[in-house]
Amino acid sequence: MDEVVLRALAKWPDVPDVYGWLALDRRGNWLLRGERIGNRALRDFIGRNYAADGRGCWYFQNGPQRVFAALAYTPLVLHLQGDALFDHCGRTFEAPHQEFVDEEGSVLVAGASGVGLLDDRDLARYADARDVESAPRIRRLEAAVRFGFIPDPGPDAS
C-alpha cells in the first residue's frame, strides 16, 4: 500500500466503508458509478491499493476509507504480455497452475495470486500456446464459491 494511505489509516482508523461506487469490468477497467475511470494516475493508485479482506471482498484502500468493488466476474483480470500473465493492476500473476473454461468459453486461471479471468482479447493467443480444450469446466456461478470471493460486497457480506 502507498505510504500516504498507511498514514491516513493510522490518523483516521474509523472511517465508514463505501459500497456501490466502484466496479471492475471483465476487461479490467475500473468504473466509478458506472463510468470508466480514464485518469491513468487514479487507475494506478487504485491498483496499488487493491486488496481483499478476510470475507473475500475486494476493495481499494482510499486513504482511511475502504471502497469495495463490485466484480463483473473475478477479482483479477489477466492480460497476456509476451508469455507472461499480468493482472489488471500491472502485477505479475504469480505461479499460474490451472486453467478452467466456463460455459461461455471464458478462461479462468488459478495461481498463487488468486484467480483471474483472462481478458477476451488475449484468449486466442493464450489458447494457441496452451491446451485449454482439455481444461476442467466450471460454471460461471460456481467461481466465486470455489475461489472464495464475494462478487458484489455489501456491509453484511460473508
Of 8-12, 31-35, 131-135, 149-153, the poorest mean pLDDT is in 8-12
In percent, how much of the chain has pLDDT > 70? 99
Burial 93-124, CB ≥16 within 10 A → b, else e? beebeebbbbeeebbbbbbebbbbbbbeeeee
Distance between first and last Cα of the chain: 24
Report whether pLDDT(157) > 80. Answer: no
Name the DSSP letter for residue 128. H
pLDDT digits 0-9 by tens, 107-153: 999 999 999 999 999 999 999 999 899 999 999 999 999 999 999 99
Q: What is the pTM of this model?
A: 0.92
Contact by Cβ (8 Å): 12, 63: yes
Residues 32-51 have a mean pLDDT of 97
Backbone region of residue 126 per phi and psi (left: phi > 0; alpha: psi in -120 to 50; beta: other values):
alpha
Is residue 149 a contact partner of residue 56, using CB atoms and an 8 Å limit?
yes
pLDDT tens per residue, range 67-85: 999 999 999 999 999 999 9
How many whole angstroms separate alpha carbon 59 and alpha carbon 66? Answer: 6
Q: Which domains does the chain have, with CATH numbers?
A: 3-71 (3.10.540.10), 76-147 (no CATH)
Q: What is the pLDDT of residue 9?
A: 83
Centre a 10 Å sphere on the Cβ of residue 18 and count the other Cβ atoms it contains. 14
Q: Are strands 76-81 and 114-118 parallel, antiparallel or unpaired?
A: parallel
